[in-house]
Amino acid sequence: MHLARFGGQLVASLDCQRRSLLAMTAMLAATWAIGLSPSAPSWAQGLPLEPIRREESRVDGPGVGPVAGELPELRTALLGGISVVSELPFDRQTKVTGPAAEAVLGGEAAFRNTTDSGNLVSKSLSVRGVSSQQRTPITTDTRVRGERVGQLLATGSYWTPVRMDLDTMLSKIDSRLIDSLIVIKGPYSPRYGPGFSFIDIDLLGTPRFDEGFESHGTSSVDYVTNGAQWYGRQTFYGGGVDWGYRASYGHRTGSDYRDGSGYALPSSYNSRDVNLALGKDFGGARRVEFNYLRLDQTGVEYPGLVFDTRYLLTDGYEVKYYDQSPWLSDQHVSEFWYNRTHFEGDTLGIGKNRQIPNLRQILFSPSGVDGFAITDGFGSSLGYRTESTFGDPGYSHVSVGTDMILLRQRIDDIEPLLPANDNNFPLPQSESFDFGFYLERVAPVGEFVRVNTGARVDVVRTLSSGDADGYAPLFTPEELERNFTTWMVYSSCDVDLTDHWIGRAGMGYGQRPPTLTELYVDASFIGSLQSGLTYLEGEENLKPETLRQIDVGLAANYNRFTGGAGWYYAWIDDYITYDALTPGAGYDGLPSGAGFVNTNLATLMGVEAYGQYRALNHLSIFGTLSYVEGTDRTRSQTSYLSDPVLDRSLEPGVPTEPLPGIPPLDSRVGVSYHDVAKSVWALEFSMRAVARQNRIAATLDEIETPGFVTLDLRGYRRLGAGWLLTAGVENLTDRFYREHLDYRTGLGVFRPGIGCYTGLEANY
């Protein structure tokens, strides 16, 4: 029926996309041919894409790119690889510890045509076990091993969403502003807060120059055919021997993209960002780096959610201080941050009501046919982290640190046609205060074993006003106040089994308190479950989650082959999941309610594998695989209403059930073809195969998702000194598909069909 309804659009779309495909394929072929031409080597003698930094004046620390002699070659920087940890600055490498930590280079953003930072993580080959829910082309919700907001933390400046469906941890940071990302898949680092997995974001830093003051610039433009998506960025950077600056402005626009059937999903957007950075060295051993980030989005359409946003504004401030020769320790790092987000949205868009035809009937109105809703919200994150290291960092050291995180959050969800004193379904003004103290010990044990152990304790206080305009309070602020003490302790080790093989293992214990949304939200339309049209009820008496996790794995590194595999298992006591308050409503396109609830025990189990083989000097073959299985082991023992008479989701006789929102088996294989010596050009062809997901939480209205296969073709060509051309085709066969995490709201959300992209960057 879907194909028949939009048959005319399908024919026109396929014809247009075939012409675009032919043009793009011809350009890629020309790029490949130029790369083989005799003149190509002489074109490779131009300037690097980033200024060379002074090695002798460098102070190691996040935000400082590689220095002279440490720049990854252009091919590695753009294509990434199965493992890119060795391409990070040394101080960043020391954070990629434990059996389940990986890194992503920000340089991949141009080659892989990524938008926000979450989109970069989901497309990179160097991270396994990460899935994504792409809510719009510029809004990506990242899931690590099936974990979600609260369990997964984004740090650097501790980014957190205000409303867990309209903004995400990583959607506020454009991928072109990233120097690197570190993904730690488990409680194997103490420095990021009370959580289960962590993403450490390092923004681009400021350069230094040997010969005194210099000033440079970068101009780039990108275009994607599917959705007529344009992206432009202008950057100026420069500095001197002991200082540097960077100023950058980016602008993204897009209209409705078409899925593989030719149907146009309402997904327009207009996004602008400003990034200003300033760095100063003091005496060679100390340095201060300042970063300011401004994001301004307007007219963003979310095809699977109740609301679109009229505007969303984010301001982020970050100051970092590094000292390589402090008075008491051998190294000291301090960072301070403040970021805030404010948004407004509504349900009035034409595309919104085309995508969800019964939305005006679902939302209250006296006539029954003209209901609408508006939303607004505010959130902020304020905090610091300070850490002193004793010993040889990364080899044998003890680190001691403290941090403080103050979060504030408010959401209004208003149906104006209801009575004015009872038309708001809010998250009342709420806040969380967290003070943490942590220790980390890294040490060799003999010649072949390296051990990392750590511990952390947090004291967390949450509270809520319990009140909002148009809302009748249910509890007093005193009744809503909660206090938690959470712990983390872990130990991991790397063992050199041979000259080429490393064994890895880890055991971790961690706790995390409920989020403000899980505790205090009251019937807001927040898309969280697969059905999409979901309102959520908080539970002020939720217990903190407690995770115990083990990881084991092997990694190999030969001259021509790099690879590895790992297995993990996690037990989570008091796992926070959902209790469907209106079971079955999602099947009929009606709003479904769900309340947050602790289940006594849930488990996560999975495997991850990767490999890359250099078959020829100019040809490499690669592959990755990720699988996670989540199970609610005690589903029938608790319910949202805490009434032993009522079964969870009103479904008796279901003692165990798969957890909701768990992605299926995901694999990628491909080949990369490139010049041998000069990093002038490269092509990559890859196939992504995703299995059918039939492990579903049926009592939460989750439905099965069929498997699919997509093909991508990418390439780049360096055009002399400072010029870079990128191009590619995504979803080469115009496959009509959707991910298991995609919303089923209204007509359903499907992923983009075939799309060709090209980009040109000039460095001067």
pLDDT in tens, 556-565: 999 999 999 9
Q: Is residue 12's pLDDT more than 50?
A: no
Q: Which two tokens stand for residue 722?
A: 């400072």
CA distance 682 to 508: 41
Q: Are 140 and 271 in contact (CB under 8 A)?
A: no
Residue 523 has a pLDDT of: 93
| CA distance linking residue 355 with residue 80, whole number of Å | 37
- Residue 701 contacts residue 580 (beta carbons within 8 Å): yes
In the structure encoding, which two tokens stand for residue 540, read together?
């002020």
CB-CB contact of 554 with 564 (8 Å): yes
Residue 33 scores a pLDDT above 50: no
> Which segments of 390-515 does DSSP mark as H helices, in order?
477-480
Q: What amino acid occupies position 573?
A: D
Q: What is the pLDDT of residue 644?
A: 63
Whether the predicted pLDDT of 450 surpasses 80:
yes
Give the residue among 482, 480, 465, 463 at the shortest CA–CA distance from 406. Answer: 463
* pLDDT class of 63 with cuts at 50, 70, 90: very low
* pLDDT, tens digit, 9 for 90 and up, residues 636-664: 888 887 766 678 888 888 999 999 999 99
CATH number of the domain that residue 737 is part of: 2.40.170.20
Distance CA 312, CA 320 (A): 26
Three-state DSSP at 86 gives helix
Nearest Cα to 297, choosing from 421, 206, 168? 168
**In the chain, how many domains are there?**
1
Average confidence score pLDDT of the chain: 88
Taking only the tens place, the pLDDT of each residue in 541-554 is: 999 999 999 999 99
- Token pair of 400 as six digits: 């001691």
Secondary structure (DSSP) of 261-329: TSPEE---EEEEEEEEEEEEEETTTEEEEEEEEEEEEEEE--TTSS-EEEEEEEEEEEEEEEESS-SSS
Find out whether 680 and 44 touch, Cβ atoms under 8 Å. Answer: yes
- How many Cα neighbours within 13 Å face the side chain of 537? 16
pLDDT category at 2 given cuts 50, 70, 90 is very low
Alpha carbon separation from 441 to 94, 401, 402, 445, 611 (Å, rounded): 12, 12, 15, 12, 31
Reported for 101-104, long-range contacts at CB under 8 A and 24+ positions apart, including other chains, are 101/182, 101/183, 101/184, 101/185, 101/188, 101/189, 102/126, 102/127, 102/128, 102/182, 102/183, 102/185, 103/127, 103/180, 103/181, 103/182, 103/183, 104/80, 104/178, 104/180, 104/181, 104/182, 104/183
Q: Dig out the tokens for 763 from the structure.
A: 């460095």
The three-state secondary structure class of 682 is strand
When pLDDT is cut at 50, 70 and 90, the band that residue 7 belongs to is very low
Among 555, 550, 543, 470, which Cα is nearest to 511's? 543
3-state secondary structure of 637: helix
In this structure, the strands spanning 178-184 and 197-203 are: antiparallel
**Per-residue pLDDT reduced to its tens digit, 617-642:** 899 999 999 999 999 999 988 888 77
Domain span at residue 657 reads: 2-763
The confidence score (pLDDT) of residue 645 equals 61
- Asked if residues 42 and 677 have their Cβ atoms less than 8 Å apart, the reply is no
Contacts with 164 (C-beta within 8 Å, 6 or more apart), sequence order: 149, 515, 517, 526, 528
Q: How many CA atoms lie within 13 A of 401 on its CB side?
A: 26
pTM: 0.89
Contact 184, 200 (CB under 8 A): yes
Helix intervals (H) in 356-495: 359-362, 477-480
Helices and strands (H and E) in the chain: how many: 11, 33
CA dist 92 and 208 (Å) reads 19
